[in-house]
Chain A
Amino acid sequence: MTRRLPVVLALVAVGLLFAYPFWWLVSASLKDRSQVFDNSLLPSVFRPENYAEVWRAVPLLAWVGNSVAVGFAAAAAATVSSAVVAFGFARFRFRGRNVLFGLVLATMMLPAAVTMVPVYLEWHAVGLATTQVPLWAGNLFGSAFYVFLLRQFFLGLPAEVFDAARVDGAGPWRQFRSIALPLARPGLIVVFVFELKAAWTDLIRPLIYLREPELYTLPRGLKAVLDRFGQGGEAQWELVMAASVVATVPMILLFLVAQRYFVRGTVTQRVEE
């Protein structure tokens, strides 16, 4: 135990270093404008009104709603479609399967920035370039990393249960729905929470696609708050910080609820490779 003490002390120091910016954020969001920069740990006058003020100044509630809607649509689409595709790769033999799966792995390495412009032009061509649809609809086709991850889950299931189901007359779809999906639940949750987080924190696609402030997701809205309240002598940083807290807290809660899935996903993400 005594040999552990220096390690724990070092970790406490690092932990404080990592926790301090959070503390600063929440504390600044409750401060008076004149105090934001004074680096005191606690506000001398508590101003929860900052939250009401930013709430009145911008459509924060609509942004939260948009982020929830887009996030859940993106996560549900990615989970269902990736599970279907992964089951196809894991369970059935067909000509071209290995080449196709090689392509799946190759797209994992493709820089996203390369398809940014042409994919926008596709949405533009079908008249959906200024809607929220491009923020989630691409997920309906399964995404490489999740296909890879769920395929590992399905490969880990014993073949006998599928054989038994087949003898009982269950077709491929029934085997998928009634056996594979329930057993792969931990993997499905990993995909869901990962994609929920990715959609909730994304800025670049909302910047490209969303024009109307009413359609903004939280990060896009937060950028607008920063552009409006974060400049010049009239800057109102306490409002920017309050909006930042609103954007951050749901992700912290999500993590605390689904912590082990995040860690598992992060680890499978890279190590299994």
Chain B
Amino acid sequence: MTSAREARAGWLFVLPWVFGFLLLTAGPMLYSLYLSFTHYDLLKPARFTGLTNYREILTDDRAATALWNTVFFTLLHVPLQIVLALGLASLLRRAGRSAGFFRTVLFLPTMTPPVALAALFLLLLNGQNGAINAVLGWFGFTGPQWTTDPAWIKPGLVLMSLWTVGSTAVLYLAALTRVPGERYEAARLDGASPWRQFWHITLPGISGTIYFTLIVNTIASLQVFTEAYTMFFGARPSTPAEGDAALFYVIYLFQEAFGSLRMGYASALAWVLFVVIAAITALQVRLSRDYVHYEDRS
């Protein structure tokens, strides 16, 4: 194949993605940037309003609540998810032949549609007679009102999210099995304690995977929508007791865009989210330089 023919064939094959990029990514982003400076309700043509939307966000209490809820949830959810997944993966690694069975059991919850999961946990987390408080009761604790007390709604959502830790645990398990066994043998000969082995061999060995899940889970967590929306919004009017304790950023964005038809304002909200996510990701990338080891990338 001449290089001209090869180049033409290459371009023809990647053409669908180029179209998709223009139609579904680059085009929409420019469009959204433009809309964020306008007032647009679908009925009348978009009207240019300059920085009005962004100025409104600065004084919008619900936007501030939504952003705070989202960051709070992420700060709780992401580290807990990583630590728990790491613990489960270490257990699975030492489980021998039964690891396959338990891997399946841990993975199954991640297959549950989030709406079904949310409906189910609305009952399990119920403060009066839900199963979770019943279990806490066995140990003498009086569980909180997970679904109605504004102070406990977000912790309840975090607790629920831990049920789907399985996919992260499976990732860590795969990473753990690739850490060379000789290192542990050498460390044992030197008399290193299990804890020291974990700290100096295991953690550096899988730091690339941990780092990647940190970034991916953070981006996903900052866009959390389905479970909280299913449980506390929609046709169910949220009660004054709940307030906006479960109002996450994308829920607010969704309400502004498709409930109030404020397409311009919603676009400005989206750009703020984009900047927040980009900044947090950049910060994580920067910090990772000191802590992530990519030895097998050579």
Which residues of A does B touch, CB under 8 Å? 4, 7-8, 10-11, 14-15, 18-22, 24-25, 28, 36-39, 81, 84-85, 87-89, 91-95, 97, 100, 103-104, 107, 109-122, 124, 138, 140-143, 147, 166, 171-172, 176, 197, 200-201, 203-204, 207-208, 218-219, 222-224, 226-228, 230-231, 237, 240-241, 244-245, 247-248, 251-252, 254-255, 259, 262-263, 266-267, 269-271, 273
Residue of A nearest to B213 (CB): A270
Which residues of B does A touch, CB under 8 Å? 1, 3, 6-21, 23-25, 27-29, 31-32, 35, 42, 88, 91-92, 94-96, 98, 102-109, 111-116, 119-124, 126, 128-131, 134, 163, 166-167, 170-171, 174-175, 208-209, 212-213, 215-216, 219, 222-223, 225-226, 229-230, 234-236, 249-250, 253-254, 257-258, 263, 266-267, 270-271, 273-274, 277, 281
- A244: chain B residues at CB < 8 Å are 115-116, 119-120
Residue of B nearest to A140 (CB): B16
Docked CA distance A228–B257 (Å): 24
Docked CA distance A92–B253 (Å): 42
Query: Which of A84, A172, A251 meets B111, CB within 8 Å?
Result: A251
Least CB distance, A150 to chain B, in whole angstroms? 12
Which applies to chain B's interface (DSSP): helix, strand, loop or mixed? helix
- B254: chain A residues at CB < 8 Å are 116, 204, 207-208
Which 10 residue pairs across A and B have the least CB separation, nearest first?
Answer: A141-B20, A88-B13, A92-B10, A227-B235, A118-B28, A94-B7, A94-B10, A244-B116, A88-B14, A172-B9
Least CB distance, A207 to chain B, in whole angstroms? 7
Q: Judge whether A203 and B212 touch: CB under 8 Å.
A: no
Residue of B nearest to A82 (CB): B17
**Between A and B, how many residue pairs show CB distances below 8 Å?**
284
* 7 residue pairs A–B, Cβ–Cβ below 8 Å: A15-B105, A18-B105, A24-B120, A113-B273, A117-B35, A204-B229, A251-B111
- B271: chain A residues at CB < 8 Å are 114
Docked CA distance A271–B145 (Å): 39
Least CB distance, B89 to chain A, in whole angstroms? 11
Docked CA distance A219–B106 (Å): 22
Q: Judge whether B9 and A111 touch: CB under 8 Å.
A: no
Which applies to chain A's interface (DSSP): helix, strand, loop or mixed? helix
Residue of A nearest to B120 (CB): A25
- A204: chain B residues at CB < 8 Å are 225-226, 229, 250, 254
Query: Which of B95, B134, B270 meets A7, CB within 8 Å?
Result: B95
- A263: chain B residues at CB < 8 Å are 103, 107, 170
Docked CA distance A270–B225 (Å): 22
Query: Which of B114, B131, B174 meets A39, CB within 8 Å?
Result: B131
Least CB distance, B265 to chain A, in whole angstroms? 10
- A38: chain B residues at CB < 8 Å are 129
Q: Judge whether B115 and A97 touch: CB under 8 Å.
A: no
Residue of A nearest to B223 (CB): A113
- B29: chain A residues at CB < 8 Å are 114-115, 118
Q: Judge whether B23 and A122 touch: CB under 8 Å.
A: yes
Given contacts A39-B134, A208-B258, contact A117 B219 (CB under 8 A): no
Residue of A nearest to B84 (CB): A14
